[in-house]
C-alpha cells in the first residue's frame, strides 16, 4: 500500500518558561538541553514526519514565545492550526491560569483546532511530590469539560513526550481519512467571502473554508451553499 502524506500545523502555547521549547527539542532531536534558560523570541518552526498506520504525517510545529510581550504574535501562529499543545508547568499554578487563557482564545478564534493540555516537568514532581502546584484531577476535569486530551510530561526524562505528538498525528490522520472517505462533516464559513481577501489564503496556508473550496472534488453540501470540513 502506498504511504499517504498529510501535513498538520501544530502550535505550542503556554506561559514563558513552562518548557515548550524543551518539549519540541526532546521530541524532534531526542535531547534535553541543560544550561541557562533562553527565552524564545517570536516563534520557531520545526517539522517532523512520523508514521501513523500506512500514512506518513508531517507535523509542522510552531513553538511560540510564552512571554506576554509576544502575545499578539502568538495569535498569528495559532491561525489555521489543527492542533494546539497548551503547556503548563506542574510546579507553577499561575502557568495553569495562563493555559486556561489560551484555551479560551482557541475556543473563541480557532474552533477547528484540537487542544492537548500538557503538564510539564513531571520529573520534578517525581523527585519531590511537595513541589506539585497543579492537581492532576483538576486538569483532567477541565480537559473533559473542553474535550481535550491531557498529558503529564517530562522533557528531561522523555516521559510521555512522544505520546503527545503521536496522539496529535493520529487524531489528525483519522480526521483527514474521515474527510477523504466522506465521513462526518460540518459546515465551515470563512468571514472573508472571497479567497483573495482571506489573510490566511494570502499567506499560502489557507483557512479550512478556502482550502476546501479550492479542492475541485468538493461541492457545497447544503442548500445554502456552505462548505464543509471534517469534524475533529
Ligand atoms: N526539570 C525540568 N526542567 C525543564 C523541563 N522542561 C523545561 N525545563 C526547564 O525549564 C526552563 C524553560 O524551558 P523552555 O523550554 O525554554 O521554556 P519555554 O516554555 O520554551 O519558554 P519561553 O521560550 O520563554 O516561552 C529551562 O531552564 C528548561 O531547562 C523538564 O521537563 N524538566
- How far away, in angstroms, is 1 Cα from ligand 1 center? 41
Residue 186 has pLDDT above 60, yes or no: no
**pLDDT category of residue 35 using cuts at 50, 70 and 90:** confident
Under 8 Å between Cβ of 209 and 190: yes
Residue 182 has pLDDT above 80, yes or no: no
ipTM rounded to 2 decimals: 0.99
pLDDT for residue 146: 96
- How far away, in angstroms, is 155 Cα from ligand 1 center? 8
> Domain residue spans in the chain?
3-174
Q: Distance between CA atoms of 10 and 27, rounded to whole angstroms?
A: 13
pLDDT for residue 88: 98
Under 8 Å between Cβ of 200 and 191: no
Q: Which residue has the higher pLDDT, 115 or 7?
A: 115
Ligand 1 atom at shortest distance from the alpha carbon of 33: 29
Specify the pairing of strand 43-52 against strand 55-64.
Answer: antiparallel
Residue 111 has pLDDT above 70, yes or no: yes
Q: Which CATH superfamily is domain 3-174 in?
A: P-loop containing nucleotide triphosphate hydrolases (3.40.50.300)
Under 8 Å between Cβ of 81 and 9: yes
- Segment (H or E) for 116: strand 114-120
- How far away, in angstroms, is 153 Cα from ligand 1 center? 12
Q: Is the CB of 209 under 6 A from ligand 1?
A: no
The beta-carbon contacts of 205-212 under 8 Å, at least 24 apart in sequence, are 205/9, 205/80, 206/80, 207/79, 207/80, 208/80, 208/112, 212/188
Ligand 1 atom at shortest distance from the alpha carbon of 25: 15
Amino acid at each position: 500500500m502506498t504511504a499517504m502524506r498529510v501535513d498538520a500545523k501544530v502550535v505550542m502555547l503556554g506561559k514563558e518558561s513552562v518548557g515548550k521549547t524543551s518539549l519540541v527539542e526532546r521530541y524532534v532531536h531526542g535531547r534535553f538541553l541543560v544550561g541557562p534558560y533562553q527565552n524564545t523570541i517570536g516563534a520557531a518552526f520545526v517539522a517532523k514526519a512520523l508514521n501513523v498506520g500506512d500514512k506518513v504525517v508531517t507535523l509542522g510545529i510552531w513553538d511560540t514565545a510564552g512571554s506576554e510581550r509576544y502575545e499578539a504574535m502568538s495569535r498569528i501562529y495559532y491561525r489555521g492550526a489543527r492542533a494546539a499543545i497548551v503547556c503548563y508547568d506542574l510546579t507553577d499554578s499561575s502557568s495553569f491560569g495562563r493555559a486556561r487563557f489560551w484555551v479560551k482564545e482557541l475556543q473563541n478564534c480557532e474552533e477547528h483546532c484540537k487542544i492537548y493540555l500538557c503538564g510539564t516537568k513531571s520529573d520534578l514532581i517525581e523527585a519531590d511530590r511537595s513541589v506539585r502546584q497543579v492537581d492532576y484531577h483538576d486538569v483532567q476535569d477541565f480537559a473533559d469539560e473542553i474535550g481535550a486530551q491531557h498529558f503529564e510530561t517530562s522533557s528531561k526524562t522523555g516521559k510521555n513526550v512522544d505520546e503527545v505528538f503521536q496522539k496529535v498525528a493520529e487524531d489528525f490522520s483519522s480526521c483527514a481519512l474521515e474527510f477523504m472517505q466522506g465521513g462526518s462533516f460540518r459546515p465551515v464559513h470563512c468571514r472573508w467571502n472571497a479567497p483573495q481577501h482571506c489573510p490566511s489564503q494570502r499567506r499560502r496556508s489557507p483557512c479550512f473554508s478556502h482550502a476546501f473550496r479550492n479542492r475541485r472534488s468538493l461541492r457545497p453540501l447544503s442548500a445554502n451553499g456552505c462548505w464543509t470540513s471534517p469534524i475533529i
